[in-house]
Copies of this chain bind each other. A is one copy, B any other.
């Protein structure tokens, strides 16, 4: 199983959305549509309960329901890696739940605790890791997680991948060079950063864009696999306007833009998002519309 998951995450790591209805309840029909779309387009690794899935706007029970629903519906047609997090006890519960649902792996969100220490972090990940037989992808979002901590945590036998997401490329490069374990290094900040991470040794990238449109992300993947950076950068140029809209307001727009685009294309029923984020304004909706037109929709 480990080898199959490792292979799947070497490529596009699709972070699905959690669609809501206008009352902000989970819209299961739209979630099924979202997952169907990803399967149809050939995505091989799908992550329910990631940040594009508004994990932190779901209650614990809802996140468990989302993991179960997505895992059941995918039924082994792709690899499912479920996001888990919070305090150790809750993270272990979520991990065990994912395993009992038949998920293929877990992604451990970075602890939300404001204070982090190397030994404490190692214990944090170790205690979650020993609670499950599933392979683990670490999600590293800040430099508060020391190199020493990452070195120790990647020695845990079920850690197979690291999704690195704070864009300090020299730091990332150093980690890739120093750590000798067999780890799949994943660019955690999607297409805009993928070429640079690949230059340092990444073998996969995350994507929220693939919920909307997949051809450009696959073109980028092929270019990067071939080491063809000029080709990658030319796709980059096409993707940039969309990702720049997502990056507005210190990334506040990240999910709202994706859901708006999906809703304009009929891929989900509503563009609704939960607080602390909100729908984009009319002007931005228009920009999304124009961009989708430019992309040929």
Contacts and interface: CB of A to CB of B under 8 A. Distances in A.
Interface of A: 51, 54, 56-60, 62, 86-90, 111-121, 123-124, 127, 141, 144, 249-256, 273-279
Given A144-B250, A144-B252, A276 B58 contact: no
A273 B119 CA distance: 11
Contact of A277 (B113, B277, B278): B113
A141 B249 CA distance: 17
Copies held by the complex: 2
A141 B60 CA distance: 24
A141 B114 CA distance: 10
B57 A113 contact: yes
Nearest to A142: B250
A48 to B, nearest CB: 16
Given A275-B123, A275-B127, A276-B111, A256 B117 contact: yes
A275 B89 CA distance: 11
Of the candidates A90, A112, A251, A256, the one having the most CB atoms from chain B within 10 angstroms of its own CB is A112
Given A57-B87, A87-B59, A113 B276 contact: yes
Nearest to A141: B114
B56 A276 contact: no
Given A57-B87, A252-B144, A115 B277 contact: yes
B59 A124 contact: no
A66 to B, nearest CB: 13
A51 B275 CA distance: 22
A192 to B, nearest CB: 16
Contacts of A277: 113, 115-117, 120
B90 A275 contact: no
B276 A116 contact: yes
Given A121-B276, A127-B275, A250-B144, A87 B116 contact: no
A240 to B, nearest CB: 19
Given A144-B250, A250-B144, A117 B276 contact: yes
Given A87-B59, A117-B256, A256-B117, A278 B112 contact: no
Contacts of A113: 54, 56-57, 276-277
B57 A249 contact: no
A96 B89 CA distance: 23
A47 B250 CA distance: 31
A295 to B, nearest CB: 23
A87 B191 CA distance: 28
Contact of A112 (B56, B117, B251, B256): B56
Contact of A115 (B58, B123, B141, B252): B252
20 contacts: A51-B114, A56-B86, A59-B89, A60-B60, A62-B89, A111-B275, A113-B276, A114-B251, A115-B253, A115-B254, A115-B277, A117-B253, A117-B276, A117-B277, A118-B252, A119-B279, A120-B274, A120-B276, A121-B276, A144-B252
